[in-house]
């Protein structure tokens, strides 16, 4: 029977337990995307706190793919040795560390004077009229940001896949134990999968196969860059709407997502990290825990790679019971580890009280991931 504190293997990586700090953007990097002492402090606490794998906050793979202020960068060779102090810090404290790779797209949070804007922020928004140079599947306005991206050309998409590969190579050179390609939460790669954002009429749209083409090319480029076995995780939405798992309102349904997961594995991913919706930590998330366990168990039956299920875990007894019954390899947690970076250490010591995190959302609204319960 698998237990929370058993080791977990993903390709060449062996983690000390089954607890994964899921990617959490702390918004503390410099404007160019570099590390700061505050970030090193947070990652040091997490590594000391006993987590098995730390997945970094999203790291942008091209300059124009920056998803928000304070995000970490991996977009050129200037980063080749930049993260060595971070990966050393994790390893010295017994944790593995994986770099999450992203291209933000129209979900990105832009300052009013961001040079990627092609029109003032308060101009009217219209589908088909791009108001930003950020790449998108189609020039469709994002309902939350009002950004209308520029439809990516085939050449843009080939270059983007190569950028993911190059970023993965840099991550490996920096001592990371793997990368996670971000195909979730409404950023560019997950937008490609969605009928709502992808109405392209070329080979990158139309059918599920077409809509999956870009994420698959990115994973193939990453795998080709890093070689066999090195851990390449993908974070994938179970579906795009909490109350519409069939995806009938135009997003991505669970059947489709399961098919995409199988293709991503065939393209070279050796772990799937299950998440969902436009923002898995949103206050709209369904009550109770853990909201993607059913889909994760399904993937674990269907696919021959470790499955991590992220979102909503708070109680170690619940985690133990899902690890024992669902065939999943591990669980991803974000907010509980913001609240208590040493939660795994506490649970291991025998204090198995659940995380007190209430999902209040303070950590998402302010830079530096403050916690209402921690100060
Ligand atoms: C402050 C904050 C930042 C986040 N940043 C990222 C991110 O960079 N990449 C990502 O894939 N998910 C990000 N997430 C989502 C988490 O990884 C996770 O999927 C979600 O919070 C649900 O897990 P939880 O219930 O354990 O918090 C973030 C969540 C929070 C609260």
Give the model confidence (pLDDT) of 167-210 as tens digits: 999 999 999 999 999 999 999 999 999 999 999 999 999 999 99
* Helix %, strand %, coil % of the chain (to 5): 35, 15, 55
- Spatial separation of the C-alpha atoms in residues 143 and 128, rounded to whole Å: 14
Q: Which of 70, 102, 334 to mutate to test the pocket of ligand 1 (most atoms within 8 A of CB)?
A: 334
- Alpha-carbon torsion 76, 78, 84, 86, what sign? negative
pLDDT of residue 249: 74
- Higher-confidence residue: 56 or 3? 56
Give the model confidence (pLDDT) of 76-129 as tens digits: 999 999 999 999 999 999 999 999 999 999 999 999 999 999 999 999 999 999
* Residue with CA closest to ligand 1 atom 28: 24
Chain mean pLDDT for the chain: 94
- Alpha-carbon torsion 66, 71, 77, 78, what sign? positive
How many residues are recorded in the chain?
Answer: 375
- Spatial separation of the C-alpha atoms in residues 181 and 196, rounded to whole Å: 21
- Spatial separation of the C-alpha atoms in residues 226 and 98, rounded to whole Å: 13
Ligand 1 geometric centre to CA of 324 (Å) = 25
What's the predicted TM-score (pTM) here?
A: 0.97
Q: Which tokens hold the place of 79?
A: 């980063």
175, 156 Cβ separation under 8 angstroms: no
Calculate the alpha carbon distances from 213 to 20, 195, 326 in Å.
28, 14, 30
Q: Is the peptide bond before 290 cis (omega within 30 degrees of 0)?
A: yes
| Domain extents in the chain | 8-311+321-330
* Residue with CA closest to ligand 1 atom 4: 24
Residues 6+ apart with CB under 8 A from 139: 127, 128, 129, 130, 148, 149, 150, 151
pLDDT of residue 241: 75
Ligand 1 geometric centre to CA of 17 (Å) = 20
The CB of 58 under 6 Å from ligand 1? The reply is: yes
Report residue 1's pLDDT band, with 50, 70 and 90 as the boundaries. Answer: low
The CB of 24 under 6 Å from ligand 1? The reply is: yes
- Higher-confidence residue: 251 or 349? 349
- Among the listed residues 339, 289, 293, the one whose alpha carbon sits nearest the alpha carbon of residue 314: 289
pLDDT of residue 277: 74
- Alpha-carbon torsion 110, 272, 166, 83, what sign? positive
Q: What is the mean pLDDT of residues 338-350?
A: 97
209, 192 Cβ separation under 8 angstroms: no
Ligand 1 geometric centre to CA of 279 (Å) = 8
Crossing angle (nearest 10°) for helices 293-302 and 254-266 = 40
Residues 6+ apart with CB under 8 A from 242: 276, 277, 284, 285, 286, 291
Task: Give the CATH architecture of domain 8-311+321-330.
Answer: Alpha-Beta Barrel (3.20)
The CB of 152 under 6 Å from ligand 1? The reply is: no
Q: Which tokens hold the place of 153?
A: 């050309």
- Spatial separation of the C-alpha atoms in residues 238 and 257, rounded to whole Å: 6
**Residue whose structure tokens are 């080939």:** 158
Within a 13 Å sphere around the CA of 278, how many CA atoms are in the beta-carbon half? Answer: 17
- Spatial separation of the C-alpha atoms in residues 261 and 239, rounded to whole Å: 12
- Spatial separation of the C-alpha atoms in residues 375 and 363, rounded to whole Å: 12
- Spatial separation of the C-alpha atoms in residues 108 and 146, rounded to whole Å: 10
Report residue 375's pLDDT band, with 50, 70 and 90 as the boundaries. Answer: low
């Amino acid at each position: 029977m698998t237990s929370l504190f058993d080791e977990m293997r993903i390709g060449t990586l062996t983690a000390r337990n089954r607890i994964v700090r899921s990617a959490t953007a702390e918004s503390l990097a410099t404007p160019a995307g570099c590390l700061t002492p505050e970030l090193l402090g947070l990652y040091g606490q997490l590594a000391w706190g006993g987590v098995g794998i730390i997945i970094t906050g999203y790291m942008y793979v091209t300059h124009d793919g920056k998803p928000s202020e304070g995000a970490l960068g991996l977009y050129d060779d200037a980063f080749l040795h930049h993260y060595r102090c971070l990966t050393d810090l994790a390893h010295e404290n017994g944790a593995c560390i994986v770099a999450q790779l992203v291209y933000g797209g129209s979900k990105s949070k832009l300052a009013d004077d961001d040079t990627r804007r092609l029109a003032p922020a308060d101009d009217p928004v219209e589908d088909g009229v791009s108001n930003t140079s950020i790449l998108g599947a189609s020039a469709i306005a994002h309902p939350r940001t009002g950004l209308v991206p520029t439809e990516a050309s085939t050449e843009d998409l080939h270059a983007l896949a190569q950028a993911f590969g190059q970023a993965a190579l840099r991550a490996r050179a920096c001592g990371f134990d793997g990368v996670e390609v971000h195909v979730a939460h409404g950023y560019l790669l997950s937008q490609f999968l969605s009928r709502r954002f992808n109405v392209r009429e070329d080979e990158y749209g139309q059918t599920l196969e077409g809509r999956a083409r870009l994420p698959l090319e990115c994973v193939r480029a990453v795998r080709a860059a890093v070689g066999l076995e090195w851990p390449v995780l993908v974070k994938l939405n179970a579906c795009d709407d909490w109350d519409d798992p069939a995806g009938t309102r135009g997003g991505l349904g669970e059947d489709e997502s399961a098919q995409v997961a199988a293709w991503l594995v065939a393209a070279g991913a050796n772990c799937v990290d299950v998440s969902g919706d436009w923002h898995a930590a949103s206050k709209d998330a369904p009550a109770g825990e853990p909201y993607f366990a059913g889909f994760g168990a399904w993937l674990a039956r269907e696919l021959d790679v470790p499955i991590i299920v992220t979102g909503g875990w708070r109680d170690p007894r619940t985690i133990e019971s899902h690890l024992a019954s669902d065939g999943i390899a591990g669980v991803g947690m974000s907010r509980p580890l913001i609240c208590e970076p040493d939660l795994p250490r506490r649970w291991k010591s025998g204090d198995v009280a659940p995380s007190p995190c209430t999902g209040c959302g303070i950590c998402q609204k302010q830079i530096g991931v403050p916690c209402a319960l921690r100060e």
